[in-house]
Amino acid sequence: MSFFRTEVSFRGAETRVVESRLFSNPNKMVMAHRPEVYARVSRFDLGGLTVGEVISSGHNVDVSEYMSNSLIVPLSGVIECESKAGLNKATTGEALFFSPNRRHTRVSAGKAATFKGIPLIISTDLMRAAFDRLGLSLPSAIEFDSLSLRMNGSRSAATAELIQTVRTLHAEIDRGSVRIGNPASRAVWVEFIADKIVDALQETGVLHAPVYHSDSSSYRSVRMALEYMRVSHGEIKDIPSVAKVCGVSTRSLELAFKNVLETTPSKALLVIRLEAARKRLCDPNDEASVTEVALDCGFNHLSRFSAAYREKFHELPSQTLGVWRKV
């Protein structure tokens, strides 16, 4: 039995617009006009790492992923992603890697019967831990809207190994492997994938290459606010206090988030808090209760926390706790 949870699934004869919650921000998928359009988007969370599955006759989507890095491995068809850093295209045997950013994505079947791809969303914390394990320091390139990379398995042994590892993990999740059902095994997989990504980035030499940086005040304010939110999400009282730390007015910070991420500082903080809570609930060595985790992460209303958590992760906090701390 597959561990993947389907969040979008439809088939029809007309162009459709549907919402996907695969990434941090809900994103609108616009299906291409064909005699029959279809799509299925599924996901599985391993704690800091989300493995997705996308099967589509072709669609466009504007992605806002401001929390984590993204790795996309196409199994069939073609994917094109355009961001501030430029346009990247990938097909079978290749992969696309992005630091947190906004991008426009188009997928098509190409010469295949359908597009099928495996998107991985991996937190910056996991990337930082991987660099530490390998005795490296996290480069400044791994920050908002700075890195957009096409990786070719035929030109890089490390990339080929990464793609094969992703495909293997996808297959394990899809068939409901007992190894994926075990929390300790999941943690090993998460570390292994993160290490493979860093290894591939190192081999391509991209970490030493010039990357895109925006010097606009809006981008600086957003980066500073997100960094502060990640470090102090449990103590932040309100958005004006975040704006004060960033040295801008509340209105200016709200406009910056709208222009850069098409969201609000409040929604960004909520996602950061939810991700932080899930990370702790998935830690078998953390003995805190759901209530203690919620309060530590900045949630003062437990019912609202449970509702927001369930909307994002499709399960209650207590269910996450029960799975990951089961002996």
pLDDT tens string 141-154 = 455 556 888 999 99
- The DSSP code for 233 is T
Distances (CA, A) of 8 to 40, 55, 255: 5, 10, 31
pLDDT value at 212 more than 70: no
- The predicted model gives 258-280 an average pLDDT of 88
Closest CA to 162 of 192, 141, 205: 192
Q: How far is Cα 3 from Cα 177, in angstroms, rounded to an integer?
A: 8
Cα separation of 297 and 304, whole Å? 13
174 band by pLDDT with thresholds 50, 70 and 90:
very high
Q: Which helix (H) or strand (E) holds 50?
A: strand 49-56
DSSP string over 141-201: TSSTT--EEEEETTT-HHHHHHHHHHHHHHHHHHTT-HHHHSHHHHHHHHHHHHHHHHHHH
Amino acid at 316: L
Structure tokens that stand for 142 in this block: 């791994």
Tell me phi and psi for residue 252, to 5 degrees. Answer: -65, -40
pLDDT tens, position by position, 283-308:
777 889 999 999 999 999 999 999 99
Residue type for position 104: H
Give SS3 for 284.
coil
pLDDT of residue 209: 41
**Please, what sign has the CA dihedral across residues 285, 70, 22, 259?**
positive
**pLDDT for the residue 273:** 93
Q: How far apart are CA 188 and CA 113, in angstroms?
A: 35
Task: Write down all domains in the chain, each with its CATH number in brackets.
Answer: 5-208 (2.60.120.10), 223-324 (1.10.10.60)
Q: What is the pLDDT of residues 39-51, one digit of tens each?
A: 899 999 888 899 9
pTM (2 d.p.): 0.78
Looking at residue 93, the DSSP 8-state letter turns out to be: T
Residues β-bridged to residue 68? 123
Q: How confident is the model at residue 210 (pLDDT cuts 50, 70, 90)?
A: very low
Give the whole-number percent of the chain exceeding pLDDT 90. Answer: 47
**Beta bridge partner(s), residue 104:** 62, 82
Lowest mean pLDDT among 24-38, 178-192, 201-215: 201-215
pLDDT score recorded for residue 162 = 96
Token output for 233 = 């999400």
pLDDT score at 206:
64
